[in-house]
Amino acid sequence: MTPSILELGYLGFEVSDRERWKRFASEVIGADVADGPCSTTRLKIDDAPARFILSYGPANDLSYAGWRVESASDVDAFSKHLKVHGVSHHWASDDDLEIRGVLRALQFRDPEGNWHEVYAAQPKASSPLQSKLVSSGFVTGNGGAGHVVFEADDYPRMIEFANKILGVKLSDNIYLQPAPGVKIEVSFFHANERHHSIAVAPRAPVPGPKKRIHHFMVEVGQVADVGRARDRCLSFGLPVVMDIGQHPNDQMISFYAHTPSGFLVEVGWGGVKVDEESWKAQAFDRVSNWGHRPFGALPGEGGGVPAAAVEVA
Ligand SMILES: [Fe+2]
């Protein structure tokens, strides 16, 4: 039997501006920032060794997504699962294990070339993180680090990857029609009580360099900490791309801002929790119940979510 993925445990980013990212992580997100092995930087938001890991290079994009399973033997069983499905993979090096602070991990690519890792965790640190800026703390626990939204050139193959390889479960879909005859489907998948740990959207035809991900999300414990994070983004000089609003599917009240690497971060509060026994996947026809307007939009300019700036939950 294929072992279940329990959570999105960590994300690795390759970033070019070390100092700005470190300041962004500590002064905007409110993470604890520490030097990691092999010249990396660890961002802690709870008692895990690192929820976000920075390495340094020109990519300014996601390097890898880490998916936790229960035990080292489950990692071995996942290797068999990958073999059955013809997914080539290899074991993480000792350096990679040390960088992530994990016991055992295997690494493989999805159809878009994004790296994923299935790992077994080290025992957690003894003292939970107390963020100096986020008084309510970050919502992780059974829901894992947060969520990540991939942009896909071949959307059906990525959906198949989520279903068959990762084995995450469909939470719901959002169907959009940004222009006559143009239809977009976004799919959201859960691995635990968090509404989605991963979502997949067709790549939007926007100017600028292609990014592997649209955004990642961290959840805070009080809605006031969403507002405070928004203030900190503006004070830091980072563009708020989509202002505060609420998604219809995960009910998250959130805003989106540019990270120093160009992809987005979503800071949210109040996401619904999935009860696997009773959950029924639904279909939605909008991205937001309210808000999520382009920052600074005047009344009438940003009603709902404009098709040209579709954000995905
Ligand atoms: Fe999101």
Q: What is the pLDDT of residue 302?
A: 45
pLDDT more than 70, % of the chain? 94
How would residue 179 be classed by pLDDT, with cut points 50, 70 and 90? Answer: confident
Which residues does 293 contact at the CB level (< 8 Å), separation at least 6? 242, 243, 245, 301, 302, 303, 305
Q: Between 254 and 239, name the one with better pLDDT.
A: 254
| Ligand 1 center from residue 80 Cα (angstroms) | 31
Tell the CATH topology of 7-121.
2,3-Dihydroxybiphenyl 1,2-Dioxygenase; domain 1 (3.10.180)
Please write the tens of the pLDDT for every residue from 212-228: 999 999 999 999 999 99
- The Å distance, Cα 93 to ligand 1 centre, comes to 31
- pLDDT band of residue 308 (cuts 50, 70, 90) is very low
Q: How far apart are CA 67 and CA 301, in angstroms?
A: 40
- Both tokens of residue 291? 């808000």
**Which of 173-182, 282-291, 297-306 shows the highest mean pLDDT?**
282-291
CA of 208 to the centre of ligand 1 (A): 21
**Beta pairing, strands 213-219 & 264-269:** parallel
Contact 118, 5 (CB under 8 A): yes
Please say if the pLDDT value at position 89 is more than 60.
yes
The rounded Å distance from CA 78 to ligand 1 centre is: 27
219 Cα–ligand 1 center, Å: 10
> Which tens digit of pLDDT belongs to each residue from 244-266?
999 999 999 999 999 999 999 99
Q: Are 27 and 20 spatial neighbours (Cβ–Cβ below 8 Å)?
A: no
Q: How far is the CA of 234 from the centre of ligand 1 (A)?
A: 20
Ligand 1 centre distance from Cα of residue 266 (Å): 6
Q: How far is the CA of 183 from the centre of ligand 1 (A)?
A: 20
pLDDT at residue number 313: 63
CA gap 177, 253 in Å, rounded: 23
Q: How far apart are CA 244 and CA 212, in angstroms?
A: 24
Q: How many whole angstroms from 150 Cα to the centroid of ligand 1? A: 10
Instruction: Tell me, in angstroms, the distance from the centre of ligand 1 to residue 312's CA.
Output: 6
Domain spans, the chain: 7-121, 141-309
Q: How far is the CA of 49 from the centre of ligand 1 (A)?
A: 23
Matching fold, domains 7-121 and 141-309: yes
Percent of the chain with pLDDT over 90: 83
Mean pLDDT over each residue of the chain, to the nearest integer: 92
Tell me the mean pLDDT in the region 183-188: 93
- What is the structure's pLDDT at 298? 62
Whole-number Å distance, alpha carbon 242 to ligand 1 midpoint, is 12
Residue 127 has what pLDDT? 67
127 vs 252, higher pLDDT: 252
State the distance from the centre of ligand 1 to the C-alpha of 263, rounded, in angstroms.
12
Residue 209 clears pLDDT 90, i.e. is over it: no
Q: Is the pLDDT at 1 greater than 60, yes or no?
A: yes
Whole-structure pTM value: 0.93
Give domain 141-309's CATH architecture. Answer: Roll (3.10)
Distance 57 CA to ligand 1 centre (A): 25
